[in-house]
Amino acid sequence: MKNIKSILIYFLSGAIVFTSCKKSFTNIPYYGLETVQNTGTFNSASGCISYVTGCYSAINLNDWWQTMWTRVVLETATDNGWLGNLGGFSNAASYRAVGSLEAINSTAGDVVGLFQFYYQGINQCNFGILNISAAPIDASLRTRLLGELHFLRGFFYMDLAKNYGGVSLYNEKTTTADIPLKRSSLAETWAFIKADFEYAEANLPQRKDYTTTADMARASKGAAMAYLAYANLWSGNYDSTVMAASALLGLNEYHLEPNYGDIFKTAYYNGQESIFEIGANNLIGNVNPVIAGSGKDGGWGWHVPSSNLEDAFLNEGDSIRRVNTIIKDGQPVAGDPAVTSWNGNPSGNTSGRNWRKYYIPLAERNPANQGYAGRWQPKAYIFMRLANVMLIYAEAAARTGDATTASTLLNEVRARVNLAPKTGLSGDALINAIILEKRLELAGEYADVRWDDLHRVKVNGVTLMSSMFGPNGTYVQWLQTNTDPYDGRTNLAEVTQNKGKLYIPGTNDLFPIPLTEIEAGNGKITQNPGY
């Protein structure tokens, strides 16, 4: 695996690489495979469009073990899930490092992979911005394509900032002589990210103005607004969060789906609630149905929901979201009349549960009515949808003292699943209700909302993650008394009762910078405290 320095040199010397020899990349757009010859790519409109399309592929890359797997691992590391394949668990030390919070260090595979793969995406964007800025194409097309690239660069840097803190900020003007850059401060990193999303908002069309079905999955003005709101929430700029989120709602372009379960249907592409997503098919698509599926259904069973998450639904009386989020051994599968008693493979599954949000009904599979025959499945990755933005907006409003707006947004999300409104709340009680709502609304989805919230939200200066995990963490203590017949099994103590005990509160709130990058930095790139 290349370190960041070599990747940067490769892309920043692209003017030589791409003109001195015939070089091709396999780029993965929304629906299928496309090979782009990069020699002369930027000399035509079609070439520029193809290059930008290829940059979206860096979000998922081209195999299950890259960024897609890391997102799965981040969810298993929270109270929402488990790294749950008992048959393969003893052979998965590299997964357990983060997935069970056992050894978050600078050489852990998922720590290294997330960092390096997203920098690959950043450098693809930088190379595109540099070349498309001078490409002989229509000005309006150039404006849009540059907006897409700035959006994607902000997207990649945002995941780095959330998980590693301030990072080295390479842009289209960086030269090989500049490498390596020292790390920027966290404030500088968030400012850079927000500037990218602001640029994208100003220069991208609304989704309704894209003219083809495939183009509707591209970044749009609404997507930029949504991520600008989220970046402001993360950086504590709550007034700016409110402004960006309210501007998005003001577009009146996105609407809650009346039926919560419809969001997770196999054919749900660019629906009225989806703001930013990546489509998929059977060739290169969504691997999570297989990664998370039951071993009795052709799945690998690696990523499964916890009993703690199910209890959270039950405590709220939230039956609609529960059955559309969790499939439980012996129970029917919501939306699949062919399965009246699910086989969750409890002898090989930590929790006897699987994710309904990833599941593909039997009649819709290829071949139909069989277990998963291939690892790639035709199910969209929805990274941002309206309910998430509404709850981001609600939290920011609550933090600025606007309990009325916050409660209205919170209760609109609850009403969709027939839950009674929460009234009379303000301050911390209202914020806590919103954080819980986000957990129930978005559990298991591709934006890793629970992981984000546990690392972002602080109580008395301590993150929720550091209060829940570690030797004295509240969740770790809860695990010792968990009596669930599946994930409370005492003979699985290695899996179900030791999770999180080795988490180091405070230190592990950020991932370490990978050792390979520290070594390649020649003393310029510093490590996070505690590592």
What is the per-residue pLDDT across 190-236, written as a single tens digit (0 to 9) for each?
999 999 999 999 999 999 999 888 788 899 999 999 999 999 999 99
34 and 124 fall within a common domain: yes
- Look at 25-29, 65-69, 303-307, 523-527 and tell me which has the smallest mean pLDDT: 25-29
pLDDT, tens digit (0-9, with 9 covering 90-100), for 470-508 = 999 999 999 999 999 999 998 888 788 889 999 999 999
Average pLDDT estimate for 53-79:
86
pLDDT, tens digit (0-9, with 9 covering 90-100), for 436-473 = 999 999 999 988 899 999 999 999 999 999 999 999 99
Handedness of CA 92, 93, 94, 99 (dihedral sign): positive
Here the CATH number for the domain that contains residue 220 is 1.25.40.390
Residue 227 forms part of a structural domain: yes
CB atoms near residue 335 (< 10 Å): 17
225 and 361 fall within a common domain: no
Average pLDDT estimate for 375-403:
95
Residue 505 forms part of a structural domain: no
Give the pLDDT of residue 94.
75
pLDDT, tens digit (0-9, with 9 covering 90-100), for 142-177 = 999 999 999 999 999 999 999 999 999 999 999 888
Q: Is the per-residue pLDDT at 324 higher than 90?
A: yes
3 state SS of 21: coil
Beta-carbon contacts of residue 341 (< 8 Å; ≥ 6 apart)? 330, 331, 332
Taking CA atoms, 328 is separated from 304, 349, 364, in Å, by 10, 11, 21
Among the three residues 379, 403, 434, which one is the final residue of a domain in this structure? 379
From the list 332, 86, 341, the residue with the least C-alpha distance to 322 is: 332
Give the pLDDT of residue 13.
35
163 and 29 fall within a common domain: yes
212 and 314 fall within a common domain: no
Give the pLDDT of residue 89.
54
Residue 327 forms part of a structural domain: yes
Show the 3-state SS of 463-520.
EHHHHHCCCCCHHHHHHHHCCCCCCCCHHHHHHHCCCCCCCCCCHHHCCCCCHHHHHH
pLDDT, tens digit (0-9, with 9 covering 90-100), for 80-112 = 999 888 776 555 677 888 999 999 999 998 999
- Strand pairing of 81-83 and 303-305? antiparallel
Long-range contact list for 468-474, CB < 8 A, 24+ apart?
A: 468/79, 468/500, 469/101, 469/500, 469/503, 469/505, 469/508, 470/500, 470/501, 470/503, 470/504, 470/505, 471/501, 473/500, 473/503, 473/505
pLDDT, tens digit (0-9, with 9 covering 90-100), for 4-13 = 333 333 333 3
| pLDDT, greater one: 26 or 320 | 320
pTM score: 0.92
Beta-carbon contacts of residue 79 (< 8 Å; ≥ 6 apart)? 306, 308, 309, 450, 454, 468, 475
Residue 208 forms part of a structural domain: yes
Give the residue numbers spanning the domain of 170: 4-69+102-233+516-520
CB atoms near residue 504 (< 10 Å): 15
147 and 15 fall within a common domain: yes
Q: Is the per-residue pLDDT at 17 higher than 50?
A: no
Q: Is the per-residue pLDDT at 408 higher than 50?
A: yes
Among the three residues 361, 379, 397, which one is the final residue of a domain in this structure? 379
Give the pLDDT of residue 70.
83
Give the pLDDT of residue 79.
97
Show the 3-state SS of 397-447.
HHHCCCHHHHHHHHHHHHHCCCCCCCCCCCHHHHHHHHHHHHHHHHCCCCC
pLDDT, tens digit (0-9, with 9 covering 90-100), for 264-298 = 999 899 999 999 998 777 667 788 999 999 999 99
From the list 141, 265, 164, the residue with the least C-alpha distance to 215 is: 141
212 and 357 fall within a common domain: no
Give the pLDDT of residue 1.
31
Q: Is the per-residue pLDDT at 34 higher than 70?
A: no
Residue 479 forms part of a structural domain: no
Q: Is the per-residue pLDDT at 36 higher than 80?
A: no
In whole angstroms, give the CA distance from residue 292 to residue 202: 39
Residue 355 forms part of a structural domain: yes
Show the 3-state SS of 25-62.
EEECCCCCCEEEECCCHHHCHHHHHHHHHHHHHHHCCC
Q: Which residue has the tokens 């590391």?
A: 77
Residue-averaged pLDDT of the chain: 89
The domain total for the chain is 2
Q: Which residue has the tokens 């083809």?
A: 212
In whole angstroms, give the CA distance from residue 128 to residue 156: 15
295 and 361 fall within a common domain: yes
Are residues 169 and 184 in contact, defined by beta-carbon separation less than 8 angstroms?
yes
Give the pLDDT of residue 18.
29
Are residues 113 and 99 in contact, defined by beta-carbon separation less than 8 angstroms?
no
DSSP label at residue 258: S
pLDDT, tens digit (0-9, with 9 covering 90-100), for 349-385 = 999 999 999 999 999 998 999 999 888 888 889 999 9
Give the pLDDT of residue 255.
98
Residue 430 forms part of a structural domain: no
228 and 320 fall within a common domain: no
In whole angstroms, give the CA distance from residue 508 to residue 500: 11
3 state SS of 390: helix
Q: Which residue has the tokens 């969709």?
A: 416
Q: Is the per-residue pLDDT at 328 higher than 50?
A: yes
Give the pLDDT of residue 30.
26
Average pLDDT estimate for 180-194:
96
Taking CA atoms, 338 is separated from 298, 361, 394, 446, in Å, by 16, 8, 39, 27
Burial 465-492 (b: 16+ CB within 10 A, else e): bbbbbbeebebbeebeebebebbbbeeb
Q: Which residue has the tokens 């109270």?
A: 79
Query: pLDDT above 90 covers what percent of the chain?
Result: 72
